[in-house]
Amino acid sequence: DIQMTQSPSSLSASVGDRVTITCRASQGISNYLAWYQQKPGKVPKLLIYAASTLQSGVPSRFSGSGSGTDFTLTISSLQPEDVATYYCQKYNSALVTFGQGTKVEIK
């Protein structure tokens, strides 16, 4: 099975900072990667799919990049409402795997 490893597991940054979260696949997955945001007590929300395509309605400060095994989610200017846990998710051969999550807090 392909494993997904996110880093860091948590981070603390100031409002306005640029934040980068990394997701690494144990084998190449082309661009079959999505990112989700889960705010405390809420349901996960799709942010980005196909590694870099922004889901409708998601603020443009969110962006994704990568292909193969290494992917990044970037928040260009961190806002208070971005406090959440972020998960990557891969789809490959009908099997789905999530990364372990990255908790983002405001410093």
Assign 2 to helix, strand or coil. coil
Q: How many CA atoms lie within 13 A of 99 on its CB side?
A: 32
Q: Which residue in the block uniquely carries the two structure tokens 């789809």?
A: 91
Residue 68 sits in the site that holds another protein (CB under 8 A) = no
Q: Which of 16, 80, 96, 107 binds another protein (CB under 8 A)?
A: 96
Residue 99 sits in the site that holds another protein (CB under 8 A) = yes
Q: Which of 7, 15, 50, 70 binds another protein (CB under 8 A)?
A: 50
Identify whether the C-beta of residue 11 lies closer than 8 Å to the C-beta of residue 19: yes
Residue 97 sits in the site that holds another protein (CB under 8 A) = yes
Q: Which residue in the block uniquely carries the two structure tokens 């999530």?
A: 98
Residues in contact with another protein by the rule CB under 8 A = 1, 30-34, 36, 38, 43-46, 49-50, 53, 55, 85, 87, 89, 91, 94-101
